[in-house]
Amino acid sequence: MNDPENAPSELAIRALGVRKTFGSGDSAVPALKGVDLEARFGEMLMIVGPSGCGKTTLLSVICGTMRYDAGSVEVFGRDLHSMSEAKITAFRGQNVGFIFQQFNLIPQWNAVENASVPLLLQGRSRGVAEKEAQRLLTAVGLGDRIRSYPTQLSGGQQQRVAISRALVHEPRLIICDEPTASLDAATGLTVMKLLKEVACRPDRCVIVVTHDSRIFSFADRIAEMEDGLVKAVHRGGDFHMQYV
């Protein structure tokens, strides 16, 4: 289901009739029941809804970490379903940046090493990767903590490292899974401001899955999910006011 009022930008992602069921037979649990959704370049799209409505499954399908059963998902015009596992992995490595709820920073690596990983996976030299990572860490306010290990950083600082890691390889799609869930209210808002500031730009699409109503105002559009379907797509400001 798409919002016709907000369709000026180029389409980044198009999901049509996406279905995904976990398990089989009597124990089958349908997670997505024919989802239609579009995301455009230059926008921050939030996917919201109650627990178990299929938000994370939809996110996994969109970024190619999970195969779907039926329908189609086109990311930057490419049909993920038709791609081999190796090609999807390579596609993700070049086009997708991830920000996780639990940060998923490797504890034995310092901030700059964690942030440089996507570039290293692309085969870039350590020097080039760390230089880029350092530039981003400085941009998110961690210029003086680049050699700090995750355990030496606060939750907010760790999420900033994660943001740097998500952006370092210049992906066109940023996937954020509950980016503020592990943070207190103030830190969550700061992180979202930063994310909006550094991640959103005309050639990039940012998709955020969240429960956190305090950050709805950052969205350009909000897709409301319920029971495996996109119930409605709202403009961010409208939905925030409505919700408040």
For 150-156, which contacts have Cβ atoms below 8 Å and span 24 or more sequence positions?
A: 150/103, 150/105, 150/106, 150/107, 150/109, 150/111, 150/114, 151/107, 153/111, 154/187, 155/103, 155/182, 155/183, 155/184, 155/187, 156/183, 156/187, 156/190, 156/191
Residue 89 CB, nearest distance to another protein (Å)?
Answer: 6
- Report the nearest approach of another protein to the CB of residue 3 (Å): 25
Contact residue for another protein among 139, 181, 189, 229 (CB under 8 A): 139
Residue 31 touching another protein (CB under 8 A)? no
To the nearest whole angstrom, how small is the minimum distance from the Cβ of residue 128 to another protein? 5
Tell me the closest approach of the beta carbon of residue 65 to another protein, in angstroms: 4
Select the residue interacting with another protein from 131, 214, 231, 235 (CB under 8 A). 131
Considering only 83, 181, 189, 198, the residue that binds another protein (CB under 8 A) is 198
Half-sphere exposure of residue 30: CA atoms within 13 angstroms, side-chain side: 11
Give the sheet arrangement for strand 78-79, strand by strand. Answer: 29-40, 11-22, 70-75, 78-79
Chain residues in the site for another protein (CB under 8 A):
56, 59-60, 63, 65-66, 86, 89-90, 92-94, 96, 98, 100-102, 104, 106-109, 113, 116-126, 128-129, 131-132, 135-136, 139, 165, 167, 169-170, 177, 197-198, 201
